[in-house]
Structure 1
Amino acid sequence: MDAYPIVRGLVRPLIWGLFRPRVEGAEHFPATGPVILAGNHPSTLDQFFPPVLTRRRVTYLAKSEYFTRPGLLGRGMRLLLESIGMVPLDRGGATAAEAALRRGREVLAGGGVLGIYPEGTRSPDGRLHRGKTGVARLALTTGAPVVPIAVIGSRALMPPGARLPRPGRVVVRIGAPLDFSDHPGPADDGAALRSVTDEVMAELQRLSGAEYVDRYAADVKAEGRDRAA
Structure 2
Amino acid sequence: MSRFVLMKALFGPLLRLFFRPRVEGLENVPTEGPVILAGNHLTFIDSVILNLVSRRQVFFIGKATYVTGRSLKGRVMAWFFTAVGMIPVDRDGGHGGVAALMTGRRVLDEGKVFGIYPEGTRSPDGRLYRGRTGIARLTLMTDVPVVPFAMIGTDQVQPGGKGLPRVGRGRRIAVRFGQPLDFSRYEGMDRDRYVLRAVTDEVMTEVMRLSGQEYVDMYATKVKAA
The alignment's TM-score, normalised by the length of structure 2, stands at 0.88
Task: Give the whole-Å Cα distance in 1 for the aligned partners of 2:93 and 2:27.
Answer: 35
Confirm or deny: 8 A CA contact 2:62 2:89 kept in the other structure. yes
Query: 1:189 aligns to what?
Result: 192
Q: Kindly report which structure 2 residues correspond to 1:59-138, keeping only aligned pairs within 5 A, or say none.
A: 59-68=59-68, 73-82=73-82, 85-92=85-92, 95-138=95-138
- Which segments of 5 or more consecutive residues in structure 1 lack a partner in the other structure? 224-229
Query: 2:33 aligns to what?
Result: 33
Secondary structure of 1:172's match?
Answer: strand
Q: 2:216 aligns with which of 213, 217, 220?
A: 213
Residues 89, 180 of structure 1: CA spacing in aligned structure 2 closer, same or farther, 3 A cutoff? farther
Residues 12, 164 of structure 1: CA spacing in aligned structure 2 closer, same or farther, 3 A cutoff? same
Aligned length: 223
- Which segments of 5 or more consecutive residues in structure 2 lack a partner in the other structure? none
**Percent identity of equivalent pairs:** 52
CA shift, 1:159, in A, is 0.5
Secondary structure of 1:204's match?
Answer: helix
Residues 48, 64 of structure 1: CA spacing in aligned structure 2 closer, same or farther, 3 A cutoff? same
CA shift, 1:54, in A, is 2.4
Task: Give the whole-Å Cα distance in 1 for the aligned partners of 2:162 and 2:71.
Answer: 22
CA shift, 1:92, in A, is 4.2
Residues 171, 94 of structure 1: CA spacing in aligned structure 2 closer, same or farther, 3 A cutoff? farther
The alignment's TM-score, normalised by the length of structure 1, stands at 0.87
The RMSD of aligned alpha carbons is 2.2
Confirm or deny: 8 A CA contact 1:2 1:84 kept in the other structure. no
Task: Give the whole-Å Cα distance in 1 for the aligned partners of 2:85 and 2:213.
Answer: 30
Confirm or deny: 8 A CA contact 1:90 1:97 kept in the other structure. no
Q: List per-residue Cα deviations over 1:21-49 (Å, max 9, x = no partner).
A: 11122221111211101111111221122
